[in-house]
A and B are shown apart, each in its own frame.
Chain A
Amino acid sequence: MIVLLAILGAALALTWWGARRARGEVEYFVAGRRAGVWLVGVAGTATAVSAFTFVGGPALFAAVGAGSLWILLSAPLTGALQCWAVGEPVAVLASRHHVLTVPELLGVRARSRAVRGVAAGVVLLGCVATLAVQARAAAVLGERLLGAPGYAVALVTMLATAAYAAAGGMRASLPAEAVQGGIMAAAAALLAIAAVVVAGGPAAVLTTLHHARPDLLGSFGAVPPARAWAWWMLFCLGTCAQPHYVQKFLFMRELATLRRLPAVLTLALAATLTVWLGLGLAGAAMLADGRLALATTDELTPGVLLLLGPWAVLVAGVAVLAALMSTAASLLNLAAAAVTRDLPAAFRRRPLELAWARGATACTALAATAVALASDRAVAVLGIAGWGFFTAALLPALLLALAWRAATPAGLVAAMVAGGIVDLVLEAARSSLPPGLEPGLAGAAVGVLVLVGVSLLTAAAPAESTP
């Protein structure tokens, strides 16, 4: 509880600091466009690593074993992939057209207000879904570790994040995310090592699982190989479609920053992902030998932490709060920009004042908390669903619009709508789908086909005026 209060105090201080500095929209939405490689890289990783990694990941390992690792096995590639496929063209367009948001970027590239408006709607919907993952994780941890009502912990955490994100925008959130990223990487490595040591060491953990749960080991654990490959693909290609990842390329001081960015992103991400493997392996072994008993797999992380001792609860509490607050701050900023800049622009209106952006930030935080508390889905499932929606709706538009000149506004709009709808329909029927048919990927595949088909059909149509 003391940790929670300390973090709330830090959030209040950051709110005061940020409110004094974030006066213009460039400061508020893209942190003044002055960030260097370490700030962008570590903050980018903090944004990428959400509560899903600390709570959902180890829980998924306990349920399906090594198959869950296919979600993170693309980590060595994703830093370079993002820079090759998205980062370079985004950075060039952002500096040339002074772009502040991801929907604006797509609108500028397609020279279309409709593209910008639909992209803003997608970003707003996806942000609420992904924010709900953070709120749900806060509720789970609050109930189990603090013994406090989950709804209260989720609400307090989300509102504290909304306070500094609303007051200071990315000017306050970006340095906070970088600090949070450093804390997360160190805490994740420490917790992973400690969990494996308490479980008896790596050899004992593997021996226990080999005898009691061999189905969790091997290349794919208890996951059908088709699903493992689909997860790899979803979390590899999906990095190019997450607006809170792409947003970081708008903050860079210069294009040359990109040269070393994959190294920083990969290093920070690899350090943080050790918690998934360490807590997952140790927790599964302790479940197998009876030292741990859980009602639901989401309780694995809190259960292991309680076995490690109060220091681990403290460290993990800080790390998980850092993880969910850093992701939430970026998503709240994106949602606020969509409401106050992109949607008005789509309807030929002037952008709303920053005061409206601050109000939109608070409203989005409340909406996401309500969704999280109303959902009974596990954190891991919510996390995959949120990631999948962005992938389905935005991957074809972002990859093809930036590289293929013949993509038309009609094609981009149709692709975003079709991809999003396919994802939502398949997500509702997830339990009856073939193992390799991941809804987010299926939506993206349909989106690509629709984008190319509609673009070829509408190639001769005149483009709309530049927004």
Chain B
Amino acid sequence: MPSAGRAIPVISCLLAGGFLVAALSLPWLLPAVAGGAAVAACALALSGRRRPGLGRAMLAIGVWLGCGFGGAWTLRGEPSAGLAWILVALFALPLPVIPWLYARTFPDRDQGVQDGDS
């Protein structure tokens, strides 16, 4: 697995370039870029910290966004079902879950939080 020092600039540039290409000419790519950028930003917490369960939390968020965006696209022509999907799947259901995931992966005092600043 690449170190954070290499992964961060490579992934950042891929997402930034991907956004510009998608926004200008490949709009169907935007949900993948949006979901990927959100998960990648959350995953910055992985740089230099020992956090059991954080990887699985990122995976869960990625799956949620994939299902949410996919369902929204599928139901885009359904007035009631489409609105209900985005309100329930993308807003109401994850409201209690994601803060719980954060609290669960918050490092205990003895694990410490290192910011990499020396």
Contact = CB atoms under 8 A, between A and B. Distances in A.
Interface of A: 66, 69-70, 72-77, 79-81, 83-85, 88-89, 92-93, 96, 109, 206, 209-210, 214, 217-220, 224-226, 229-230, 232-233, 236-237, 240, 255-256, 258-260, 262-263, 265-267, 270, 277, 396, 399-400, 402-406, 434-438, 441-442, 444-446, 448-449, 452, 455-456
A386 to B, nearest CB: 20
Interface string B1-21: 000110011001101110110
B75 A218 contact: yes
A445 B79 contact: no
Interface in B92-106: 94-95, 97-103, 106
B38 A77 contact: yes
A402 B115 contact: yes
B45 to A, nearest CB: 4
A214 B101 CA distance: 37
A98 B9 CA distance: 29
Nearest to B75: A219
Interface residues of B, number: 61
Contacts, number: 204
A83 B104 CA distance: 13
Contacts of B23: 226, 230, 434, 436-438, 441-442
Contact of A237 (B37, B75, B98, B100): B37
A260 B61 CA distance: 18
Interface string B38-73: 100111110101000000000001000000010111
A110 to B, nearest CB: 11
Contacts of B103: 259-260, 262-263
29 contacts: A69-B87, A77-B61, A81-B42, A84-B42, A88-B49, A92-B113, A206-B80, A217-B80, A218-B77, A218-B78, A219-B73, A219-B85, A224-B27, A236-B34, A255-B113, A400-B8, A400-B9, A403-B8, A404-B5, A406-B9, A434-B23, A434-B27, A435-B27, A436-B23, A436-B27, A441-B23, A444-B16, A445-B17, A452-B13
A73 B31 CA distance: 13
Which of A240, A435, A437, A438 has the most chain B CB within a 10 Å cutoff? A437
